[in-house]
Amino acid sequence: MKFIRNIFLPAMALLLVVPSCKKDFLELDPRGTQLETNFYSTQEELFQGLVATYDVLGWQGTDGWTMDLGLLNAASDDCYAGGSDASDQPSWVAWDGFTLNPLLGPQLGLWRKGFSGIYRANLLLQKIEEVPDLDPAFKARTIAEAKFLRAWFYFDLVRLFGNIPIFTEPLSADEFFTIKQATPSAVYDLIEQDLKDARNTPELPQTVPPAELGRVTKGAVNALLGKVLLYRNDDSRMLEAAGYFEDVINSGNYFLMPNYGDIFKRENEWGPESVFEIQFSDNRPGDWGCCFASGPVNNATEGNYNVQFFGMRDYSGPLYAPGWSFCPISTELVDFMQNDPRFEYTIIDGNALKQVGATYTEGYQNTDYFIKKYAPLADGVANDGVIALEWADNIRAIRYADVLLMAAEAQVRGNGDMAKARQYLNQVRARVSLQPYPGNVTGEALLNAIYLERRFELATEGHRFFDLVRTGKAAEVLPGFQPGKHEYLPIPQQEIELSMGALVQNPGY
């Protein structure tokens, strides 16, 4: 079941605010203000607040088309920006070519989405302490989930922007805009603490029943905590990170799907390889008014816009539905993966489709190769609403294969168990019938092999840009990338002006 997307949607509609100015950013509308005052007085209402916090994970139309997955693909060397022409989505083109400035790019939507999620988590964490006689298990689990979500939003923001404000209680807009930025180290400290609090909560389950798919588990917490330590780039803590990944691996709750090509099929959502997914659904039809709104959205969809963006423009032919030709696969990735067994499950060969009679319009930066993992399938078209906004395809945010590769990386960087690192790496390779790395591959050679495998295994899943940045390789492979500048997006100029000097622009912008 699509737990997060199907439960309490009418109540969530009152909370769905996409902020646009100082007076409504991080504040609820009049109905929402009354909701905050009178709501959160029962266990059921607190649960609705939790669902509303989860909901922000799937926001994709905050101040523009701001889908993390598509944007991060465009920023990497996996894909180009694409679209109909160069003027289709200037913010995507700007990140793709690193021509960003404080007013041009996706930063405003990503900033406001992240802090809206943090606000909701903070509000829930405050209100839950004010309600008497709650079931202790419900309270403990809800707090753990809210802290995981707050950590998730802060992790996104610190990787995107670096120096960001920290707040752990719900603030008014006026209060928020007086907060100065904290260092990335301080933000990471908060993220770690939230995740450790969640990890140490006995009431947070290892697994959930089908009716609760979408809720956080211990596996998701441990995987994210280990990943956070990788991004802190402190080799003295890599074996600590490895320990968190080991908890996921040794839980027995996850394993690699036998067929790589089955991972992204809709019927395999929340399969054995999924540690955490971001939920989407086609059972709340809306219309175009749902996008880029500045107030409560009563006609919001719950679909995954990435799917529409990645499809071939004006496509007519077998298997697929038409899309908007964003994120065409780079020629570099095509060449890189050409002889890998995962190529056919990762990349659509448009020329091969043309040979069997398919047609499509060539978009901007067309290469005739397209993303397959989240392609719009003809048999997945919604029956109601605006079809382009109704794709019910979950994002596989944390896969078990990723956990294995991160565990291998942590062992090598921590000068730990090289045999175990090779074992995890070779598990991923064995799934697609590739030869294992032998025992004489160790140290730096093994680490480079792990990074190489990440490129093959996780291509077009939104990991590549951050992998390049955290390993210091972005400037080597991304044209236009300037070290010391493009590791982060610019702080949105609109937010700097509203802060009256509290916020300082990132270097180089």
- Averaged pLDDT score across all residues of the chain: 92
Q: What is the dihedral sign for C-alpha 233, 239, 240, 244?
A: positive
Q: Report whether 129 contacts 170 (CB < 8 A).
A: no
Encode pLDDT of 357-371 as tens digits: 999 999 999 999 999
CB of 40 closer than 8 Å to CB of 127 = yes
pLDDT in tens, 78-103: 999 999 999 999 999 999 999 999 99
- Count of CB atoms within 10 A of residue 434's CB? 15
What pLDDT, on the 0 to 100 scale, is given for residue 403? 99
Tokens of 417: 């168990």
Burial per residue of 64-89, b for 16 or more beta-carbon CB atoms within 10 angstroms, e otherwise: bbbbbbbbbbbbbbbbbbbbeeeebb
pLDDT of residue 289: 67
Quick one: pLDDT band at residue 36, thresholds 50, 70, 90? low
* Cα-only R_g, the chain: 22
DSSP string, 146-181: HHHHHHHHHHHHHHHHSSEE---S---HHHHTTPPE
Q: Considering the chain, what percentage of its residues have pLDDT values greater than 90?
A: 85
What pLDDT does 386 receive?
Answer: 85
Model confidence at 8, in pLDDT bands (50, 70, 90)?
very low
The phi-psi region of residue 330 (left if phi > 0; otherwise alpha if psi is between -120 and 50; otherwise beta) is beta
pLDDT at 296: 40
Report the pLDDT value the prediction gives residue 300, as an integer from 0 to 100. Answer: 65
Q: What is the pLDDT of residue 290?
A: 64
Structure tokens belonging to residue 229: 């330590």
Residue 467 pLDDT exceeds 50: yes
| Structural domains for the chain | 1-64+107-217 (1.25.40.890)
Model pLDDT, residue 292: 61
Q: What per-residue confidence (pLDDT) applies to 7? A: 41
Rounded mean pLDDT of 382-400? 93
Confidence of residue 291 (pLDDT cuts 50, 70, 90): low
Q: What is the mean pLDDT of residues 38-44?
A: 89
pLDDT tens digits for 65-76? 999 999 999 999
Q: How confident is the model at residue 152 (pLDDT cuts 50, 70, 90)?
A: very high
- The b-or-e profile of 324-336 (16+ CB within 10 A means b, else e) is bbbbbbbeebbeb
The mean pLDDT value for 472-491 works out to: 98
> What per-residue confidence (pLDDT) applies to 284?
74
Give the three-state DSSP class for 479.
coil
Q: Inform me whether the pLDDT recorded for 201 exceeds 50.
A: yes
Answer yes or no: is pLDDT of 12 > 60: no
The answer, yes or no, to whether residue 25 has pLDDT greater than 70, is no
